Amino acid sequence: MSHTEIFDLSTRSIDQARAVGGRAFFPHVLRGVRADTFGLRLRAGTLGPVLVGTLEYRTATRVDSAEFVDSYEVNLMTHGRVLMTYGRSQGVATATTAAVHGPVEPSTLQGWREPARMLGVKLDRASLEHALGTLTGRVPSRPVRFDGWLDTTTRDGSAWSVLSRRVYWWSRRARRPDGAVERTLPDALMTTLLRAAPHEYSSEVRAARHSAESAARHALVLMHTRGVVGGTVADIAREAGISPRTLEKQAAELWGTTPSELLRSLRLEYARLALLDAAGSGRTVKDVVSRWGVSHLGRFSARYRERYGENPSATIAGLDG
């Protein structure tokens, strides 16, 4: 999943749904569907080693997939409920309970008798297991066994839910900015999943929370979930349990920059994409960028011109080249 790919499909063809859905997520078989009533709406995009997309079937549908082999999958409902089966584990995914599937057992999704939209997050196996290694000090020699479920009402679960939606928004834009978000958002998502969803290495992840690198990675998560909408680096460091000086050192080693510059870049890039989305809408620059931690429009505009070669007012007017 290292290349960028965007999927946007609305179809009533079972064969097309199976082909495109299989290319975006996993090869599968659709059962219990009728050609005269079938329909699928799929929107998805990739961001580095992560693919995030939404699935909506028009009628009751069962989706059977074989082992994922090289990926993990997390499924969360934005609305509605779907019965999830992974190996011998079975339960109902909702807006507050996500199903977490590993790469070694077949899986089944069954639902859509009532309107429902599923947010599916596909994570490259090698990347997730490498992320676990950075947290615990050792890369697992076999696939990680998750307990099967993630509670999005917990602090870490809520952060994962926010990050997955950030990835969904970002990954589906062909003209998204290059830079800090592209480099750091997938890592933040995987780090948070490993903290939020119970698995066989959870005790080791918890034990490592107070290490400097683990705390710095948590600070990165906080930058993406809270810092981009307000707050300071000092606030983030305090919540992550790391001193500002240690965070400076870790940021230089992990991301080659300072925490302040990283946070400014994240805010600028999120604001850039929001302005591109708002082009021609009649909204003001201030209205769009104020939700991304921008308190001084003049300083923001100067940095924006330096980075993108145009005023933010030109972007929102749809005049960018």
Whether residue 219 is contained in a domain is answered as: no
Neighbours of 282 (CB within 10 A): 8
Whether residue 25 is contained in a domain is answered as: yes
- Per residue in 276-321, pLDDT (tens digit) is 999 999 999 999 999 999 989 999 999 999 999 999 999 999 875 4
235 pLDDT tier (thresholds 50, 70, 90): very high
Cβ atoms of residues 176 and 273 within 8 Å: yes
CB burial of 184-198 (b: ≥16 within 10 Å; e: otherwise) equals bbbbbbbbbbbbbbe
Whether residue 187 is contained in a domain is answered as: no
Helix boundaries (H) for 103-211: 125-136, 155-171, 180-196, 202-207
Cα 160 to Cα 168: distance, rounded to the nearest angstrom:
12
Whether residue 188 is contained in a domain is answered as: no
Cα 274 to Cα 128: distance, rounded to the nearest angstrom:
29
Cα 178 to Cα 174: distance, rounded to the nearest angstrom:
11
Strands, sheet with 82-86, edge to edge from the N-terminal-most edge strand: 28-31, 61-65, 107-111, 82-86, 89-93
Q: Which pLDDT belongs to residue 177?
A: 79
Q: Which H or E run includes 227?
A: none
Cβ atoms of residues 108 and 61 within 8 Å: no
Give residue 254's Cα distance to chain centre.
20
Beta strands in the chain (DSSP E): 6-11, 28-31, 40-47, 50-57, 61-65, 71-79, 82-86, 89-93, 97-101, 107-111, 117-124, 149-151
Cα 306 to Cα 303: distance, rounded to the nearest angstrom:
5
Whether residue 30 is contained in a domain is answered as: yes
- Per residue in 73-126, pLDDT (tens digit) is 999 999 999 999 998 899 999 999 999 999 999 999 999 999 999 999 999 999
CATH value at residue 37: 2.60.120.10
Q: Which pLDDT belongs to residue 2?
A: 47
Whether residue 68 is contained in a domain is answered as: yes
What pairs with residue 107 in β-bridges?
65, 86
Domain that holds residue 112: 6-155
- Per residue in 216-232, pLDDT (tens digit) is 999 999 999 999 998 89
Of 280, 282, 284, 239, which is closest to residue 259 (Cα–Cα)?
239
The tokens of 11 are what?
A: 């179809």
Q: How many domains does the chain have?
A: 1
The tokens of 42 are what?
A: 């799929």
Whether residue 73 is contained in a domain is answered as: yes
142 pLDDT tier (thresholds 50, 70, 90): very high
Cβ atoms of residues 51 and 122 within 8 Å: yes
Cα 135 to Cα 155: distance, rounded to the nearest angstrom:
18
Whether residue 147 is contained in a domain is answered as: yes
Cα 300 to Cα 156: distance, rounded to the nearest angstrom:
31
